[in-house]
Amino acid sequence: MGLNETPAANRIHIAFLGKRNAGKSSILNAISNQNLAIVSDTKGTTTDPVYKAMELLPLGPVMLIDTPGIDDEGALGELRIKKTQQVLNKTDIAVLVMDGREGKSAEDETLIQLFQRKEIPYLLVYNKCDLFDYKNPEEYSISVSAKTGEQINALKEIIAKRITTEDPKLRLVGDILKPCDYAMLVVPIDKAAPKGRLILPQQQTIRDILEASAVSIVVKETEFAETIKNIGLKPKIVITDSQVFHKIHAETPEDIFLTSFSILMARYKGVLKTAVNGAKTLDMLKDGDKILISEGCTHHRQCDDIGTVKLPQWIKNYTKKDFEFQFTSGTEFPENLSSYQLVIHCGGCMLNDREMKYRQKFTVESNIPFTNYGILIAYMQGILQRSISMFPEFLAK
Ligand SMILES: Nc1nc2c(ncn2[C@@H]2O[C@H](COP(=O)(O)OP(=O)(O)OP(=O)(O)O)[C@@H](O)[C@H]2O)c(=O)[nH]1
Ligand SMILES: [Mg+2]
């Protein structure tokens, strides 16, 4: 991935689904104006989801996902359908593609029900309108021809309209800052930090502080104590990387708010309250209980080390109990959680919002407590209460 490219997690994921031969791959090619996906009149041409990152005007950075036909047959077909459902866990907009001459089938109705159950905005595309008289019968539906390109631009526009914009109430930190407030950001530059840039949560926090007309002062942990002494005006808040949470906690006067980037991200993604409650259940677990530690990415050596080695050790030191740990990484996540007493997830920087929300929702609906690395670590270090006390929803009454 180039330095200036949008990470996959921040792209709007648009999946094309439907029966075999409906023209899913053809539509993806028409939209992207490239021959990315293989097209043929043989049913079942696409056998695995195909991902294509691109800029799609007027939307911006998107991830287009071509999928195998939902009506596939046999044992292999079943596997493909399972894959398609996994795709839906990260889909922001589902585009149901149909052969307009046939209209909506039972399989299509089943897919629509699935979209509704998963609360995924969707639209209906009646393809091959070069072969029938086109009409636009329902809301959020359109007739197009992938072959002639007719209505393909209109399709892009209704995809863009279908995107539910983020809840404007969700802010990283700007909502608790007034103009000209100081916010101090602590960013360690160690060998795990990417070369030449800041990571996304740090960039987004600085941006949000600017939008609140407040002031960011960014320092490494080694200059923090000196800076906070010399700064003159008292900062409203200190936001630190979790790795140096303990040190910064000790060096931040008690009357200054202190939190971490991962806590800000958790709040922004709507998982903070659940994760705080989840962390507190650690005290109630018994010897032999099963804990799932789930990592969203497969290639971060540093995350891997925290998840599989450090975290179990810290948990053991804190609880003095013996738990059974199980681990998953990347896109795999158990379909049945009933054997676990706690799920601990990474911050999810490599997963898109929808996938993270799905995992949280699924865990909570399975009646299993859910928390994440940063919040659990803060809890075990006795800093959690302090680091959420500034948010309206946690303010002591
Ligand atoms: N006339 C006409 N034919 C089309 C149109 N779109 C696709 N086709 C044809 O329909 C057939 C199936 O197209 P694909 O894009 O491979 O369909 P798919 O939905 O990806 O099919 P699977 O990968 O098998 O699930 C091909 O022969 C296409 O050339 C269209 O708008 N008009
Ligand atoms: Mg295909």
pLDDT tens-digit readout, 316-356:
999 999 999 999 988 789 989 999 999 999 887 777 778 88
Q: What residue's CA is closest to ligand 1, atom 21?
A: 21
CA separation for the pair 202, 207 (Å, rounded): 9
Distance (Å) from CA 329 to ligand 2 centroid? 28
Per-residue model confidence (pLDDT) at position 97:
97
* Separation in Å, CA 184 to CA 84, 234, 236: 44, 10, 8
Q: What residue's CA is closest to ligand 1, atom 24?
A: 44
Q: Is the CB of 31 under 6 A from ligand 1?
A: no
In DSSP terms, 239 is beta-bridged to: 185, 259
Per-residue model confidence (pLDDT) at position 3:
44
Distance (Å) from CA 18 to ligand 1 centroid? 11
CA separation for the pair 384, 258 (Å, rounded): 10
> In a 10 Å sphere around its CB, with 0-12 CB exposed, 13-18 middle and 19+ buried, how is residue 41 labelled?
exposed
Spell out the per-residue pLDDT of the chain, length 397, in tens: 444 566 676 788 999 999 999 999 999 999 988 887 788 888 888 888 899 988 887 777 899 999 988 887 766 667 777 788 889 988 999 999 999 999 899 999 989 998 988 888 999 999 999 998 866 667 789 999 999 999 999 999 888 888 765 555 578 999 999 999 999 999 999 877 788 888 888 999 999 999 999 999 999 999 999 999 998 889 999 999 988 999 999 999 999 999 999 899 888 888 899 999 999 999 999 999 999 999 887 665 555 577 888 899 999 999 999 999 999 988 789 989 999 999 999 887 777 778 888 898 899 999 999 999 889 999 999 999 999 999 987 875 4
Distance (Å) from CA 255 to ligand 1 centroid? 65
Structure tokens at 170: 């969700």
Q: Is the CB of 46 under 6 A from ligand 1?
A: yes
Q: Is the CB of 352 under 6 A from ligand 1?
A: no
Q: What residue's CA is closest to ligand 1, atom 2?
A: 128
Q: Is the CB of 164 under 6 A from ligand 1?
A: no
Does the global pTM surpass 0.75?
no
Q: Is the CB of 43 under 6 A from ligand 1?
A: yes
Q: What residue's CA is closest to ligand 1, atom 32?
A: 128
CA separation for the pair 366, 360 (Å, rounded): 10
DSSP annotation string for 88-123: HTT-SEEEEEEETTT---HHHHHHHHHHHHTT--EE
> For the chain, what's the residue count?
397
CA separation for the pair 346, 317 (Å, rounded): 20
Mutation to probe ligand 1, out of 20, 24, 26 (largest number of atoms < 8 A from CB)? 26
Mutation to probe ligand 1, out of 19, 20, 21 (largest number of atoms < 8 A from CB)? 21
Q: How does pLDDT run across 77-128, given as a tens digit for each residue? A: 677 777 888 899 889 999 999 999 998 999 999 899 989 888 889 999 999 9
Closest C-alpha to 13, from 346, 353, 359, 361: 353
> 58 preceded by cis ω (within 30°)?
yes
Structure tokens at 155: 């399709």
DSSP annotation string for 151-206: THHHHHHHHHHHPPPP-TT--SSGGG--TT-EEEEE----TTSPTTS--HHHHHHH
CA separation for the pair 346, 306 (Å, rounded): 9
Q: Is the CB of 143 under 6 A from ligand 1?
A: no
Per-residue model confidence (pLDDT) at position 357:
82
